[in-house]
Amino acid sequence: MHPLAPDLSKFNDDELHSKRADLQNKISFAYRMGHGDLVQQLHLLMDDYNRELEARNQKMLADLNKNNKNFKDLINITK
């Protein structure tokens, strides 16, 4: 985790996606300006955002699987 990263768990999904998109724009700008060290630091921050999004997606999937135990019965693809 990057030491300057905010507590990403405090953001809702829309805020997190918006901040991630803003960070991606900053990375692109830093690349164009030739600031390699800044790009590396921004990528470390981006990794934190990606990990938070992945953790949220995994939790959402686990919750869906838990709540839909009979999911296979809902869709029968074998005939």
pLDDT tens per residue, range 21-72: 999 999 999 999 999 999 999 999 999 999 999 999 999 888 887 877 655 5
Whether the Cβ atoms of residue 60 and residue 21 lie closer than 8 Å to each other? no
* DSSP string for residues in 33-64: HT-HHHHHHHHHHHHHHHHHHHHHHHHHHHHH
The domain ranges of the chain are 12-72
Q: Is the pTM of this model over 0.85?
A: no
SS3 content of the chain, % helix, strand, coil (to 5): 75, 0, 25
pLDDT tens readout for residues 63-77 = 887 877 655 555 656
